[in-house]
Amino acid sequence: MSGRRDQHEANSHGRTEPTLGDLDHLDESPRVSAGDGLPQVRIEPRRPRERTTSPASGRAGRRGWLVPFLLLLVIALAAALWFNQNRLRGMLPRTDFNNVLGQAQQALQAGHLDGQDGTSARELFQAALALAPDNDRARDGLRQVGQAELSQADAALQAGQLGQAAQQAAVARELLGGGSDIDRLDQSISSARAAQVHTVDLVDRAQQALAAGQLDGPQGAGALYRQILQADHGNAVASHGLDQVGDALAVRARKAFDANDSTTANASIEQLAELQPNNGALPALRALQSQVRQQDNTALDAALKQGQDALRAGRIGGAGEDTALTHFQAALALDPDNVQARRGLGDVAEALTVQANAAIDAGDTVQAGKLLDQAAALAPKSADLAAARARLASAAQAPAATASPDDDNVAAPAPAPLSPQQSAQVARLVQRAQVATRSGNIMMPPGDSAYDLYRSALAIDGNNAAAMQGLQGLPGQVEQQFNQDLANGRLGQANDMLANLADLAPGDAAQGALSNRLASAWLDQAEQQLSNGDRVGAAQSLERARKLAPSHPRVLDLSARLQASQ
């Protein structure tokens, strides 16, 4: 429909329609022409409108950032609640859970770790974990139970309770999930079980030996029970068995005294002292031993005096009862540890050796051999005896001597000449023996000791001066080493040197003084051990001193003090 038609329709009905006029010239005139029939309207030119901001609108602009900030804050809080829901859940008051957890802690502190009645720490912590599967306190409680089980398993192992140790170690492995500490504990338990099997075998053998009356010796009941205790200090069976051995030895000693068999009685007492230095029967047996010895002193003194008289008179050995050998042997039967009797037998051996050397010089090798055999029975390791043996062997290999019919004296056989190889070998042996002497290897090791090397040299050349001098000089070297060991507190080594001296020079008069010096050193050590509370060590040191000097006044005094300290 066109504008003209509208206008026409309006006019045809007697009604005037409003019109906008000439819009093309609207901006050209400030007024609208009045000829259009409309009211005059003044049109102002359009101007840019200034922006004005009210205070209210400013505040609204500043608050515009709060909305996204609050939104972000709500999101962060929601995330924190989500990720810490377990901890927050644990912070909520939960009466059942807290009661179970408290009971579990009390059971742990009381040492009630495991069980099957629902009251052990392990069961309660597991119940708490069932109520709160992710609760850290319940998890940590189970870990503490595992550590406690591990500690108790180790203590059970140290106490020899292997079954309990294995059971607790298994529980610890379940709770802790394994670990190096549990692995080491399992290995220790396995080793202890293997040793226990060996111990059971030793116990059976010891019991059989005890039943057969075999008390002493390496396979005797005493040695076997002591071996068990060395491996297992707390073995009650071995301790009881050793007590039985001690009682049997004490009974044997008393019966021997009743039968006037001092040798057997003294031997039984020494065995008892070695096995059980603190045996309750030992002091009474020592007192009885001392009493018997005092009763035998008269006969002992008489035998020693008669032996010395016969030795000075030249009645060394041979047939008859009035010889030095017979009297000293009788004295030794009365007191097997008598130093004077042993030294007298050593003097007899030295005298027989001197007679043998004289027989060799006289060409009587048969008589010399007999004399040396008698000396060897008394002092088999005597240095002078070994030298005489070498001379006798060299003389036996020499060509027989010749003599004129009118000459009653037979010249000593001349030694056979040595080959260059033999001479070189003797020189090497002597040199090695000298090195061994300087190193202190006097009697040991066999074959490489100075004693054996000198004897080997003399076996080739029985008259070799260097070998003869070195062999006979060994007692002096031993005494020198003894003094060094004693000065440095090496009492065990000094004891060995004194034994070597008794073998090499059985008739040496200096041995008595050396024995007393060493006995005093052992007594000093026993005094110190007793003051430090080491009664076992003190008893052992006292026994070493007693063997060296049984009549030493400090031996009796310390024995009484040791007995009183029990």
What pLDDT band is residue 405 in, cutting at 50, 70 and 90?
very low
pLDDT in the model for residue 52: 47
Residue 295 to residue 331: CA distance in whole angstroms: 13
| The total number of residues written for the chain in this structure | 566
Does 115 or 376 have the greater pLDDT score? 376
Q: What is the CATH number of domain 297-379?
A: 1.25.40
Identify the H or E element spanning 294: helix 282-312
Residue 154 to residue 471: CA distance in whole angstroms: 59
pLDDT in the model for residue 13: 47
Q: Is 46 helix (H, G, I), strand (E, B) or coil?
A: coil
Among residues 512, 515, 467, which one has the least CA distance to residue 494?
515
Residue 413 to residue 403: CA distance in whole angstroms: 11
Residue 519 to residue 510: CA distance in whole angstroms: 14
The type of residue at 212 is A
Residue 447 to residue 445: CA distance in whole angstroms: 6
pLDDT in the model for residue 512: 82
pLDDT in the model for residue 32: 45
Identify the H or E element spanning 287: helix 282-312
pLDDT in the model for residue 235: 76
State the burial class of residue 535 (Cβ atoms within 10 Å of its Cβ: 0-12, 13-18, 19+): middle
Residue 527 to residue 555: CA distance in whole angstroms: 11
* 483 pLDDT higher than 90: yes
- pLDDT exceeding 70 applies to what percent of the chain? 79
Residue 556 to residue 566: CA distance in whole angstroms: 16
pLDDT in the model for residue 413: 53
Poorest-pLDDT segment among 106-110, 470-474, 494-498: 106-110
pLDDT in the model for residue 33: 46
Does 406 or 312 have the greater pLDDT score? 312
Identify the H or E element spanning 273: helix 262-275
- pLDDT exceeding 90 applies to what percent of the chain? 12
* 482 pLDDT higher than 90: yes
Residue extents of the structural domains in the chain: 93-178, 195-276, 297-379, 381-398+419-481
Most confident segment among 310-319, 342-351, 410-419, 521-530: 521-530
Contact between residue 451 and residue 381 where contact means Cβ atoms under 8 Å apart: yes
Contact between residue 107 and residue 124 where contact means Cβ atoms under 8 Å apart: yes
What pLDDT band is residue 9 in, cutting at 50, 70 and 90?
very low
Contact between residue 565 and residue 535 where contact means Cβ atoms under 8 Å apart: yes
pLDDT digits (tens, 9 = 90+) for 317-342: 877 788 999 999 898 887 777 778 88
* 74 pLDDT higher than 90: no
Positive/negative CA dihedral, 71, 77, 83, 89: negative
* 61 pLDDT higher than 60: no
pLDDT digits (tens, 9 = 90+) for 266-306: 888 988 888 888 888 888 998 888 888 777 778 888 998 99
Does 251 or 225 have the greater pLDDT score? 251
Q: Residue for token digits 């075999």?
A: 214
Contacts of residue 442, Cβ cutoff 8 Å, sequence gap at least 6: 436, 449, 450, 451, 474, 477, 478, 481, 497, 500, 504
State the burial class of residue 233 (Cβ atoms within 10 Å of its Cβ: 0-12, 13-18, 19+): exposed
pTM: predicted TM-score of the whole model, two decimal places: 0.46
